[in-house]
Amino acid sequence: MVSPTSGTILSPRGVPSAPSDPEATQLQGASSDFEALLLRQLVVAMRKTIPESSTSAASSKLYDHFLEDGLSQHLADVGGIGLSDLLDMREKSGKNSDL
């Protein structure tokens, strides 16, 4: 995302992105993907609490799978639960101990 006033590249949350090296970019991508994976597990668990309809066709289950994937990835991209940011901050601070 780009700021309409300054032209600065912004993160999904609207915070200016700092120029980073390829390794930091790769780490940010991995932490975002990890958060998306955890969010997907959360979405799947929540959807199990909703009763299934009597017409549970295979196409409906496939649609549900895509919906869960898309929703979890979107949630992670727009900030998720903050896990990705926490992992990035831990790595930048150089702390390799357990969370």
Q: Is residue 64 part of a domain?
A: yes
- Which two three-digit tokens encode residue 50? 């909703």
- The CA angle 60-62-66, to the nearest 5 degrees, is 115
| 10-residue averages of pLDDT along the chain (99 residues) | 49 53 80 86 88 73 86 85 85 67
Q: Is residue 8 part of a domain?
A: no
The pLDDT assigned to 20 comes to: 57
The pLDDT assigned to 41 comes to: 92
pLDDT digit string (tens) for 68-80?
888 888 888 888 8
The pLDDT assigned to 95 comes to: 61
The pLDDT assigned to 2 comes to: 43
- The CA angle 69-70-76, to the nearest 5 degrees, is 90
The pLDDT assigned to 1 comes to: 43
Q: Is residue 56 part of a domain?
A: yes
Domain of residue 88: give its range. 22-93
